[in-house]
Amino acid sequence: MGLTASQLKQLSDDELKAKEIVKEKLAESENQLKTYRQSLQSHYGNQLRLHSYSVVAVGYERIIHCEIK
């Protein structure tokens, strides 16, 4: 991303989510999550009542997450 750790700390979650690389990684995470969720639901049915979250690490300083419904 070309940002220092202190610059990353100053950005809000929304500002980080607006960065193209973060958008790409969130989309990739969401696709993996949907596949895994379908596999679990086909095996266990609705008894799990899953809550799914997509999580992306931004360096060692930050994580970005969002719930996937």
The predicted structure's pLDDT at residue 68: 85
Does residue 2 have a pLDDT over 90? Answer: no
Does residue 1 have a pLDDT over 80? Answer: no
Q: Model pTM? A: 0.77
Show the domain range for 56. 5-68
Segment (H or E) for 64:
strand 62-68
Number of domains within the chain: 1
The predicted structure's pLDDT at residue 59: 84
Task: Tell the burial category of 56 from Cβ atoms under 10 Å away from its Cβ (0-12, 13-18, 19+).
Answer: buried
